[in-house]
Amino acid sequence: MVYGVLRLINFAHSEIFMVGGFAGFFVLKYTIGSSTPTGISSVLLIILGILAGGTAGALIAVLLERVAYRPLRKRGAPKIAYLISAIGASYFLLNLAAKEFGRIGQSMVQPYTDHPVFTIFGAPVQMYTLIIFIVAAIMLVGLDRLVSATKLGRGIRAVAQDSETASLMGVNIDKTIALTFILGGFLGGVAGFLYAMNVGVLYSMGFTPALKAFTAAVLGGIGNLRGAVLGGVILGVVESFSVAFVDPAYIDVVAFAILILVLMFRPTGILGEQIGRAA
């Protein structure tokens, strides 16, 4: 998403993810206490966690944009400078979180009792899976609408296609880029919270998911929302099936091998790059 506008990978996305996870974790921890809530309060708590994660993610994203990207953009710095700056910022946040939140993983306070809801083809579907599915679907539709139908979305697409011309047409580039970061940060934060609900929080939790998210995005076609979904599904399925064939220690190698293969043979991804079109 952010990539589409800046034509740059946001290296700090893993940290946005991590911060989102932590924000959700702390908010739930202080609101829930020790008992496990049920019914309507569970739903509210999940929404609260999602909002906390998303807000924190968006906040960090804006700060990042301000500190690590904007000064470089103002100067028209070469690409490598952005990359280095982003890596530095990412590394900074990662280790600051390690210091402040400790280096031991914590499991998430559960806002609901996980249990199979129904079964498809004999496979039980857990509550957790269902929640993620619903949230992802809502976010996806929302984002798709936002980008293709609103004024902001049009601005984003315009900046992505040709930022100079866009600014001549009266699009405020700084504002648009900041909003894109907010949007991307919100989504990243929410994802971090959802991920943390299952596996808990840890300062380095963002690294592997971010690498995989990138793989999924490249697989589907960078800047192409539907492609990203397709890429994510394919990657997930391939990984799950490869468990049967490779040592579990090498699962991450599979994702990486896919990434290299895609980049070698079809760098535009399965559905093609669509920077600035349907974004």
Partner 1 sequence: MKLLGAVFVLSELTAVITGPPGNPTHPWIGFHGSIVDQASFLGLFNIQRWIAFFIYGLIVSGAVYVFRTQKQFIAQVRTAQRSVTSNKSVKITTSIATITLVVLLPTLVADPFWQNAMVSQIAVYVLLALGLNVVVGFAGLLDLGFVAFYAVGAYATAWCTGALPLPALFGVHLNPFYAIPVAIILAMISGIILGIPTLRLRGDYLAIVTLGFGEIITLFANNLNGITGGAMGTAQVPHFSVHVGPVNYVWGIPPVPYYYLTIAFVGIFIVAFSLLEHSRVGRAWTAIREDEVAAESVGINPLKYKVMAFAIGAASAGFAGVMTAAQTNYVTPATFTLALSINILVLVIFGGMGSIIGVVFGAVVIQTITMYLIHNPPAGYQPQDLYIYIGALLVIMMIFRPAGMIPARRRSRTNASLDSSQG
Q: Is the dihedral of CA 208, 62, 105, 33 positive or negative?
A: negative
Cβ closest to partner 1, residue 80 vs residue 123: 80
Report if residue 110 touches partner 1, rule: CB under 8 A: no
144 vs 273, which CB is nearer to partner 1? 273
CA gap 217, 273 in Å, rounded: 10
Task: Map the footprint of partner 1 across residues 245-264, applying CB under 8 A.
Answer: 247, 249-250, 252-253, 256, 259-260, 263-264
What mask of x and - would describe binding to partner 1 in positions 10 to 49, judged by CB under 8 A? -x--------------x-----------------------
d(CA 56, CA 54) in angstroms, rounded, equals 5
- List, in order, residues 6 or more apart from 103 with CB less than 8 Å away: 203
Q: How far is the CB of 122 from partner 1 (least distance, A)?
A: 33
Indicate whether 201 belongs to the interface with partner 1 (CB under 8 A).
yes
The Cα–Cα gap between 250 and 255 comes to: 9
3-state class percentages of the chain: helix first, strand second, coil last, to nearest 5: 70, 5, 25
Residue 104 makes contact with partner 1 by CB under 8 A: yes
Regarding 67 and contact with partner 1 (CB under 8 A), the answer is yes
Among residues 37, 51, 62, 98, which is the contact residue for partner 1, using CB under 8 A? 98
The C-alpha atoms of residue 156 and residue 168 are separated, in whole angstroms, by: 14
* Smallest distance from partner 1 to CB 233, Å: 21
